[in-house]
Chains A and B, each alone.
Chain A
Amino acid sequence: MPTGDAVHIVRRRFVGAPGPRVAIVAGIRGDTPEGVRVAHKVASLLEQHHDALRGTVDIYPCVNPLAAHRGERYWPFFSQDLNRCFPGRLEGHAPDRVAYTLTEEVRDAAQVIELRGANPAFSEAPQAHVRARDTQAADLARHANVNVVWARQPGPAAGSTFAWQHPNTLVLEGGTGNRLQPKVGVALTEGVLNVLNVLGVLPDAILPFHWATITRPLMVGDDRVHRVRAVAGGLFLPSRGVWDEVEAGDVIGEIIEATAGEPIETIRAPASGRILAMREQPVVLPGSMLARVVVTATQESA
C-alpha cells in the first residue's frame, strides 16, 4: 500500500492423510459476505477434525479484502472487477497479480469450489452454477445441498472469470449481496461439507447433519431459466418470494410510477416453476431484470 502497510490475502490449509486437494475460494467480489462466512464455517469444522481428513483443503476466505472492507463489489481505486481480471498477470497491478496468483494456486487442485453471494439487488435461492460442458461438475453439484444446479453456456465475459480458469469448477451462491441470511449460510456450508464427503476428503462420521437431509436439486440448462424484465421504469414491488411455486401467468409483482405511486405494470410469471431470484432493489428501468423463474417440470420432447 502507498502508506506502507500491507494487505494480506489469507490461505488456510488443512492437511490430512494422502488424498485429493480441494481449493475453496470466496469473496472475489467485496459485496458477497455470504460466501466468506460459509468459508469460515467450513474452515472451523475442518480445524476441529483435521486428523480425520483425507487430502488437503485450501480455503481462501476473502480474496478481495480491500473491497470487502468497504462492502463494495469492485477492487477500489481503479474500480476493477476482480472477476474480470482472470487469469491475471504477474507483472500487472494489484488485482491482476491477485488473479494470477490465485489461478496458479488452484492449478493442480483436484476440485475448485467458488463461493459467492448474490448481487445486492437480488435475493437468490441456493444454487450451483457449472459450465454446460462440465458434466463431472454437474454430477458433483447434485450433492451441494442447493435447490438448483444450473449448467450455463458461457457469456462473452466468461473467459476472464475465476470459474473459467479451472475445469469442473463448482460455483455456489445464494442469499443477497451484502447481507447474511442464516438459512442460506447453513445450506451452503452443509453443501460444501457434503461435497467434501463425496470427494472422499471428509468421513461420514464428522458430518454435522444426516446425508438424507441434503436437498435434491433441480438440474437445468439455460433453456429452463426464464428472465423476467421490466417493460416500464419505476419502482418494483415483488409480491412473491424466492423459491415460491408459481404458475405461468401468476402475478409476481408490480411496477408503480416513482413519484405518483400509481401502478403502471403488472409482472407475471412467464412459465410455471419456482422463483430462482427476485429483485430486492426497487428502482428499475425498462429492461431491468426483476426475477428469474426456473421451470420445474421436465418438458416432454416431441
Chain B
Amino acid sequence: MRDRVVYQLSAPYREPYTLRALEFGSGGPTVAIVAGLHGNELNGVHALNLVASALRMARLNGTVTLIPVVNTFGLDQGTKRWPIDDNDINQAFPGDPQGSAVQRIAFALLEATQAEVCVDVHSGSPLVDEICQARVPLTGREVGLARAMGLPMVWRREGDRLEATGLVGAWRERGVAALHVVGGRGATLDLARSRQIADGLLRLLTEVGVLRFGMEPGKILVDATRRGVAYHYSSFGGFWVPEVAVGDRVAAGHLLGTINEVVGGSLVEEVRADRAGVVVTMRSYPVVHARELLVRVAEPT
C-alpha cells in the first residue's frame, strides 16, 4: 500500500490541509473510491478503512485508490461543509487549480481519481436515515456494477441537480462509470451499515476483476426507478414519531408513523403506506415542518 499526499493547502492557525490517498496494486483495471466529501458523513469513512484493511492482505489484479476523507477540516469540526467560508466541496466541481480553496480541492480530487470505475460514498442528512443504496443512471454499465455490489437498494434514476455539479457528475462527464452510494445517517457511525457498504465495495472490486474473493452475493431488496418509490411528506408541522424503521417490509395501509402536537401530544396526522414495499428512507429527527420528507417506501424486487 502506498499512502500518498495528493494535495496540500496551507491554512492559517493550523497544519496545512492534506488530501491523502491510499493506493493498492498496479496496472488495470482501475477503481477509485471516495468518502468524506461531506465532513459529517462518517459511515463511508469507516467503510473505506474496512476496505483498506481487507486490501492490505489481498493480491490485487489492478489498482484501487481509496480516499477515505476529503473534507478533513469539516470532519474535525463535525460540519458537512468546508468550514472556512461555509462552502460545499460537492458543489465545486469540476474545480479550478487557481480558484477558491474548495475549487482547488475539487480539482485535485478529480486529478487523483482517474479510474475506469469511480464510487462516491455519502450518508443521509443527520436528520434522515437511508437504506444502503447505489444510485446509478437508468441504463449503462453502472447498473450492472450496482447490482453486483448487492446493497439492499439499487436506485436507477435520472441524475439530479446536485449530482450534476458534484463529484459524480464530474466523473460521468469524463465518461467513466460513476456510482453514488448513500447509507445511514449523517453525524453518526452505524457499524452495520458501514460493514454493508464495505462488503458492497469488495463485491464491486471482485466484479471488476481487481479481486478474486469468493464473496457471498448481497441481498437486494429493492431495484427501482423513481416510479417504484413512494414519497410521504408531512402535511403539518409537529412531533414525528416513526412506527417502522429502515429495512422493514410493510403492507399497503401499514402505519408508518404519526405527527403529534409538540405540547400535549395529541394526534395531528397518521402517515400510512400507499403500497406494499420496503422502508428505504426514514426521518429520524422528530421535529418536522409542513411538507417535509418523512418516509420513502420502495416496491420490492
Q: Mark A92-125, 1 if CB is under 8 A from B, else 0.
A: 1110110000000000000000000000010000
Q: In whole Å, how far is A83's beta carbon from the nearest beta carbon of chain B?
A: 13
**Known contacts A77-B289, A285-B10: A93-B237 contact under CB 8 Å:** no
Stretch of A47-55, A137-145, A228-236 at the chain-chain interface: A228-236
> Does A4 touch B at the CB level, under 8 Å?
yes
Q: In whole Å, how far is B133's beta carbon from the nearest beta carbon of chain A?
A: 20
> Does A15 touch B at the CB level, under 8 Å?
no
Say whether B100 contacts A288, CB under 8 Å.
yes
**Known contacts A93-B289, A234-B12: A287-B100 contact under CB 8 Å:** yes
Say whether A93 contacts B293, CB under 8 Å.
yes
Docked Cα-Cα span, A121 to B84, in Å, equals 11
Say whether A91 contacts B262, CB under 8 Å.
no
> Does B216 touch A at the CB level, under 8 Å?
no
**Known contacts A233-B12, A258-B12: A2-B98 contact under CB 8 Å:** no
**Known contacts A78-B125, A91-B291, A93-B292: A289-B10 contact under CB 8 Å:** no
Q: Mark B1-39, 1 if CB is under 8 A from A, else 0.
A: 000000001111100110000000000000000000000
> Does B68 touch A at the CB level, under 8 Å?
no
**Known contacts A160-B161, A229-B98: A93-B233 contact under CB 8 Å:** yes
Closest to A73 in B: B86
Q: In whole Å, how far is A30's beta carbon from the nearest beta carbon of chain B?
A: 13
> Does A157 touch B at the CB level, under 8 Å?
yes
Interface centre among B16, B263, B292 (most CB of A within 10 A): B292
> Does B225 touch A at the CB level, under 8 Å?
no
> Does A259 touch B at the CB level, under 8 Å?
yes
How many chain B residues sit at the interface, stated as a range, is 35 or more
> Does B63 touch A at the CB level, under 8 Å?
no
Say whether A287 contacts B104, CB under 8 Å.
yes
Q: Mark B80-115, 1 if CB is under 8 A from A, else 0.
A: 100011100001000000111101100000000000
> Does A212 touch B at the CB level, under 8 Å?
no
> Chain A residues near B10 (CB, 8 Å)?
232-233, 285-286
Say whether A284 contacts B287, CB under 8 Å.
no
Docked Cα-Cα span, A181 to B12, in Å, equals 30
Number of contacts between A and B (CB, 8 Å)? Answer: 86
> Chain B residues near A157 (CB, 8 Å)?
91, 165
> Chain A residues near B16 (CB, 8 Å)?
233
**Known contacts A2-B239, A2-B287, A93-B292: A287-B99 contact under CB 8 Å:** yes
Q: Mark B247-288, 1 if CB is under 8 A from A, else 0.
A: 000000000000001110000000000000000000000011
Docked Cα-Cα span, A1 to B293, in Å, equals 15
> Does A3 touch B at the CB level, under 8 Å?
yes
Q: In whole Å, how far is B168's beta carbon from the nearest beta carbon of chain A?
A: 15
> Does B290 touch A at the CB level, under 8 Å?
yes
Q: In whole Å, how far is A290's beta carbon from the nearest beta carbon of chain B?
A: 11
Give the residue of A93, A259, A287 whose beta carbon is less than 8 angstroms from that of B291. A93
> Does A219 touch B at the CB level, under 8 Å?
no
Q: In whole Å, how far is A275's beta carbon from the nearest beta carbon of chain B?
A: 19
Give the residue of A1, A94, A96, A259 whose beta carbon is less than 8 angstroms from that of B13. A259
> Does B150 touch A at the CB level, under 8 Å?
no
Q: Mark A53-95, 1 if CB is under 8 A from B, else 0.
A: 0000000000000000000010001110000000000011110
The 3 closest A-B pairs by CB, nearest first: A258-B12, A2-B237, A285-B101
